[in-house]
Amino acid sequence: MVEVSPAAAQSPVRIAYVTQWFKPEKVTQCMWVAEDLRSRGGVVRVLTGLPNYPEGVVHEGFDIFYPVRDEVDEFEVLRAPLYANHSNSTLKRIANYLSWAISATIAGRRMIKAADVSLVYSSPATAALPALVSKWRHRTPFVLLIQDVWPDSIFATGFLGGPVRPIAHKIVSSFCDIAYRGASEIAVISPGMIDLLVERGVPREKLHLVFNWVDEETFMPREQMPPTDGPRTIMYAGTHGAAQNLESAVDAMHEAARQRIDNVRMVFIGDGVRKPDLMKRAADGPGAHNIEFRDPVPSTEIYSHLIQAHAQLVSLQPDPLFDITMPSKVQSSLACGLPVLAAAGGDVARLIAGNDAGWVARPGDVADFVSVIRAISTAPEAELRAKSNNATNLYRNEMSRDRNGSTLFELVERSRKGT
């Protein structure tokens, strides 16, 4: 344990919160972190960008060429200009990330210099630049909160490819290594990220697990389970994209029907580029009568849908990157007391299996998926209730705001100047 100087212990910690995204943009986790820091006594000032996510168009009323001072929910906010873009163009997205990182470094220098410590919400990784420069110039320490590991995440999605890939990979990797060395502490959102960064030379004692949490006023333990004497419902609520590998789920439902497992239905809620193909795939097989697709619902309403299910599907492609990914639907399901059907590997599979908070199927393995569907179809009510209780306890003990917000604030406090 790092000892805190008496002077520091008596005064609230002044935090420069560096994040490219912030309210009114639809990025709730960024906002929750700021609110939690303040609730624990931190004096939080926010260095962010002009609001433009996800449309890629700066919101009306903001000067796009100059820094803008703003107030959001009583937070003092400084918005640095940027090139607004969230298209699929690699060059334009690079321009978006770099333009904000550079302008925030210039515009935010006084804010960070005046702080005891800065906290960087590291997505994108370039967000670390303002804090890194202030560490060099003014000795202001900083903490990294890493949401996705670069360069792995950007190259895995094809964001950078072609002949420039080797050069780009080297540049991005070098910048990340510099940021890791400069950070006083590093928080990551999944256990596998710790192992990966240790392999890359980051000292193990600098790395800490801080799970993302959910809106606990919305996602709360359900009062009762749905009936178990009728069809069992497996629900998927989220994006219907390539990464989610939902084709395996549809194929498994067809195979389950062939094996006469007929008391399980699967409900898909949401939208995405793969949805039309998934609907056609579902309609063209023997399990069509047990597969339902619903339109997206607002986040404020999704809870009422989730609690009607016996299990929530979390599905990912078999990929090394996804082995260290912790989708937010894991936390939202567990917070509701909803067992998880994890058609995924790595951290998600270990978390669910290790706490008996659901079932695990090998990603992409239809036969294994069918065996899990059969297990859900035949599970006694007592087993379903036990898994539900385990899910609730797992979230409360390991993934809650109280647990992880406390850890993050401790990292920030012990990294402040003079400690």
pLDDT in tens, the chain (419 residues): 344 444 445 699 999 999 999 999 988 999 999 999 999 999 999 999 999 988 889 998 888 889 999 999 999 999 999 999 888 787 888 899 999 999 999 999 999 999 999 999 999 999 999 999 999 999 999 999 999 998 888 776 566 666 667 787 888 899 999 999 999 999 999 999 999 999 999 999 999 999 999 999 999 999 889 998 889 999 999 999 999 999 999 999 999 999 999 999 999 999 999 999 999 999 999 999 999 999 999 988 999 999 999 999 999 999 999 999 999 999 999 999 999 999 999 999 999 999 999 999 999 999 999 999 999 999 999 999 999 999 999 999 999 999 999 999 999 999 997 66
Are 260 and 375 in contact by the 8 Å Cβ rule? The answer is no
Give the Cα separation of 313 and 357 in Å (integer): 12
Give the Cα separation of 147 and 126 in Å (integer): 12
The residues, ordered by sequence, that sit 6+ positions from 199 with a Cβ below 8 Å of its Cβ are: none
Query: Counting Cβ atoms within 10 Å, is residue 397 exposed (0-12), middle (13-18) or buried (19+)?
Result: exposed
Give the Cα separation of 351 and 358 in Å (integer): 10
Give the Cα separation of 338 and 360 in Å (integer): 14
**Taking the C-alpha atoms of 159, 170, 178 and 35 in order, what is their torsion angle to the nearest 10 degrees?**
10
Strands 68-72 and 75-80: antiparallel
Report which of 154, 99, 106 is spatially closest to residue 130, judged by C-alpha positions.
Answer: 106
Are 149 and 165 in contact by the 8 Å Cβ rule? The answer is no
Say what the pTM is: 0.92
Query: Counting Cβ atoms within 10 Å, is residue 170 exposed (0-12), middle (13-18) or buried (19+)?
Result: exposed
Give the Cα separation of 93 and 54 in Å (integer): 12
Report which of 4, 7, 27 is spatially closest to residue 17, judged by C-alpha positions.
Answer: 27
**H/E/C letters for each residue in 292-321?**
EEECCCCCCCHHHHHCCCCEEEEECCCCCC
